[in-house]
Amino acid sequence: AMTDTGFKKGFLWGGATAANQLEGAFDVAGKGLSTADMIRFVPKEERNGYSMDVKADYIEGVLAGKIKDRFPKRTAIDFYHRYKEDMALFAEMGFKTLRISIHWARIFPNGDDQQPNEAGLKFYDDLFDEMLKYGIEPLVTLSHYETPLELTRKYNGWHNRKLIGFYTRYAETVFTRYKNKVKYWLTFNEINVITHSPYTGGGVLVENVPDKTFEQVAYQAAHHQFVASSLATKLAHEIIPGVQVGCMLARMTTYPVTNHPDDILLAQNHNDMNLFFTDVQVRGEYPKLMERYFEENDIVIEKKIGDDEIIKQYPVDFISFSYYMSISVTTQGEKESVLGNMVKNSVKNPHLETSDWGWQIDPKGLRYTLQDFHNRYGKPLFIVENGLGAHDKVEEDGSIHDPYRVDYLRQHIEQMKEAVKYGVDLLGYTAWGPIDLISVSTNEMSKRYGFIYVDQDDEGNGTLARSKKDSFYWYKKVIETNGDDL
């Protein structure tokens, strides 16, 4: 007999994706270019850490045909043409939900168009119908690292306040169109990433604002996204009965390496800077501590009258986040650093194993993160990304044995159970990349997260044929038993 796992009835098990990482078809049916279409593939040996940034000259060079690079996200795994086959596989695993994003540039090819592109709207209508046919609840991100490129070229992306208007027009368009099909919405994927990579997070080219510092530009852009997110939340509630709107944070839960009080405070500061984003989106106001931070770093946020009221009036309904690893920091001596340019001062935690990409695997950190979120905000939570990027090997008979992936996921789900028993209100769990797709941070195909394998290598060679890994059957069982049989 099945035991009560604590996961509620109707718990939303599923997978999470983003348009630019799986759709391909970058110039089909009226779609405009997006920021993601301009990120080229760089082989590992030549790559310096992560490759998420692009320069203005480069973009112009590509558009003028002077630069010929390969852009993996332009073709991705061709989900655009193969989604029926893929959806059948998700349904076979028993998915209750699928997180996708709408590629903004399919709907508004230039971002600032007056009228939406009907062919783009139609594509997502068909996609949602296909999900609903199987009883798969769509969970939709409005903006997932795929700002229309023209908004970068003409306005410098989210650094410009005008983006608020373009985004709310887009949000209103898709809310109205899909109001009978989509109940769960996320406004911005990993909204905090804009302060690490303004181009990826918001289509912002920092070098185009020469008189201002990186942080000044990034936090100003974040402010515009906060206002836009609140306005979208307001619109969603007006247009869609029973809608649930969430924020989405890349949660970087940070530990002190030692019990030196300076380490404790340093870790707290890292967590505060990360949770600043949810503080604004959930509590509806900038936390006091940011005033000091802005002052000490010469950051002045330009706000319009009414911005604070908008942020206060329309907070999110639930909190969603990605969780892949924990971070450790210290003030005490030199330690081996990890994660390169992605997280400042991050050092190796000797108690944890790392993935092939140096991400420190920490299932208990997920439990701590859930409990901490719960204590801080008391709101429903949704884990909308978690998973292991790994190299997979296809055996001669075509099978793919991925016990490492199953281990990773099992251990995280076990800790979710503990958190639920602690009192966390958990809405669902969507594993990142249920089908192999293009990596954000490295543009690789070989960094695979999927239950479903896609035949394609880093150079773009392969048939794109789909096949089931061992983890496919495992996850199916997990969903069937509502997390009992791990």
Of the residues 140, 218, 245, 250, which one makes contact with ligand BG6 according to CB under 6 A: 250
477 sits in which H/E element: helix 470-480
Residue 146 neighbours by CB under 8 Å, 6+ apart: 18, 19, 20, 34, 35, 36, 101, 103, 104, 105
Q: Rounded to a whole number, what is the largest CA-CA distance in the chain?
A: 66
Of the residues 72, 389, 428, 434, which one makes contact with ligand BG6 according to CB under 6 A: 389
Closest CA to 184 of 141, 225, 149: 141
179-218: contacts with ligand BG6 (CB under 6 A):
189-190
Candidates 260-268, 363-371, 411-419, 433-441; binding stretch for ligand BG6 (CB under 6 A):
433-441
Considering beta carbons, is residue 173 or 439 the nearer one to ligand BG6?
439
Q: Is 432 in the site for ligand BG6 (CB under 6 A)?
A: yes
Candidates 83-91, 262-270, 441-449, 464-472; binding stretch for ligand BG6 (CB under 6 A):
441-449
The 3-state secondary structure of 25-85 reads CCCCCCCCCEHHHHCCCCCHHHCCCCCCCCCHHHHHHHHCCCCCCCCHHHHCCCHHHHHHH
40-99: contacts with ligand BG6 (CB under 6 A):
none
Least distance between ligand BG6 and beta carbon 359 (Å): 8
* Total residues binding ligand BG6 (CB under 6 A): 14
Least distance between ligand BG6 and beta carbon 74 (Å): 16
- Neighbour-count burial of 387, counting CB atoms closer than 10 A to its CB (0-12 exposed, 13-18 middle, 19+ buried): buried
Considering beta carbons, is residue 430 or 482 the nearer one to ligand BG6?
430
Considering beta carbons, is residue 46 or 395 the nearer one to ligand BG6?
46
18-37: contacts with ligand BG6 (CB under 6 A):
18, 21
Least distance between ligand BG6 and beta carbon 385 (Å): 6
Candidates 260-268, 434-442, 452-460, 467-475; binding stretch for ligand BG6 (CB under 6 A):
434-442
Closest CA to 69 of 77, 61, 78: 61
Q: Is 15 in the site for ligand BG6 (CB under 6 A)?
A: no
Candidates 196-204, 401-409, 419-427, 438-446; binding stretch for ligand BG6 (CB under 6 A):
438-446
Of the residues 73, 103, 183, 447, which one makes contact with ligand BG6 according to CB under 6 A: 447
Give CA–CA dist 277/316, Å, rounded.
Answer: 12
Least distance between ligand BG6 and beta carbon 155 (Å): 24
Q: How many CA atoms lie within 13 A of 385 on its CB side?
A: 21
Amino acid at 308: D
Tell the residue number behind the tokens 């110039």, with chain if given. Answer: 27
Give CA–CA dist 68/61, Å, rounded.
Answer: 9
- 312-331 footprint of ligand BG6 as x/- string (CB under 6 A): ----------x---------
Which amino acids are annotated catalytic? 385
List, as one string, the DSSP characters of 376-418.
HH---EEEEE----B---B-TTS-B--HHHHHHHHHHHHHHHH
Of the residues 38, 440, 452, 454, which one makes contact with ligand BG6 according to CB under 6 A: 440
Least distance between ligand BG6 and beta carbon 21 (Å): 6
Of the residues 441, 456, 471, 482, which one makes contact with ligand BG6 according to CB under 6 A: 441
List, in sequence order, the alpha helices (H) in 71-213: 72-75, 79-92, 104-107, 118-133, 149-155, 162-177, 198-202
Q: In degrees to the nearest 10, what's the CA dihedral of 216, 217, 218, 221?
A: 120
Least distance between ligand BG6 and beta carbon 250 (Å): 6
Give CA–CA dist 96/98, Å, rounded.
Answer: 7
- 467-486 footprint of ligand BG6 as x/- string (CB under 6 A): --------------------
Considering beta carbons, is residue 188 or 318 the nearer one to ligand BG6?
188
Q: Are 96 and 135 in contact (CB under 8 A)?
A: yes
Of the residues 439, 456, 471, 482, which one makes contact with ligand BG6 according to CB under 6 A: 439
Candidates 164-172, 258-266, 331-339, 440-448; binding stretch for ligand BG6 (CB under 6 A):
440-448
CA distances from residue 54 to 39, 92, 123, 197 in whole angstroms, order as listed:
7, 39, 29, 10
Positions that interact with ligand BG6 (CB under 6 A): 18, 21, 189-190, 250, 322, 385, 389, 432, 439-442, 447
